[in-house]
Amino acid sequence: GLMQIMPATWDELRVHYGLGADPFDPRDNILAGAAYLRQLHDRYGSIRAMLAAYNAGPARYEASLAGEPLPPETRTYIAALAPIIEKESAAAATELVRPMAQSWRAAPLFATPPARSNPTDAGFLVPRSGALFVAPLPSRRAP
């Protein structure tokens, strides 16, 4: 599913949170995944640790605390996310994606009228047929 929850973890989460049996149901999958991330964060105390445990699994993460190396995939995953999750880089990263403040009056959500109106250009507004979308076919009688 979307949150990439392992089957055994899904079984525990769905029972705990009263979710359905289908791990691919988007609503249940997202709720379970978000709850699982929260559990990992509460358990390990940091975003970096939460993500490592999420990617490698809690047992592997706890083994890494005892000196075992994390899998290469997990080390790559954390390295890719490090600029986003570290304080120094987080401000710079959010600066790159921060939307520009814009008055609602200038927002592109609203159409603006053209500088001058020309009624001869409005021919495309006239329907090509009397039907809603397509011209009706001529009626045919069965032989």
Looking at residue 135, its pLDDT comes to: 56
Looking at residue 95, its pLDDT comes to: 45
Taking the CB of residue 11, how many other CB atoms lie within 10 A of it?
13
Q: Which value, in Å, is the radius of gyration of the alpha carbons in the chain?
A: 28
**62 or 115, higher pLDDT:** 62
The answer to whether residue 136 sits within a structural domain is no
The closest of 45, 43, 3 to 13, measured between CA atoms, is 3
The answer to whether residue 125 sits within a structural domain is no
User: 85-101: string of b/e by CB count within 10 Å (b at 16+)?
Assistant: eeeeeeeeeeeeeeeee
Q: Which residues contact 129 (CB under 8 A, 6 or more apart)?
A: 135, 136
What residues make up the domain containing 70? 7-97
The answer to whether residue 26 sits within a structural domain is yes
Any idea what the Cα angle at residue 17 is, between residues 15 and 20, rounded to 5°?
65
How many domains would you assign to the chain? Answer: 1
Q: Give the pLDDT confidence of 64-89 residue by residue, as tens digits.
A: 999 899 999 999 988 888 887 776 44
The answer to whether residue 1 sits within a structural domain is no
> What predicted TM-score, i.e. pTM, was given to this entire model?
0.58
Question: Mean of the pLDDT values across residues 2-26?
Answer: 92
Distance separating alpha carbons of residues 52 and 61, to the nearest angstrom:
6
Looking at residue 94, its pLDDT comes to: 45
pLDDT(96) > 50: no
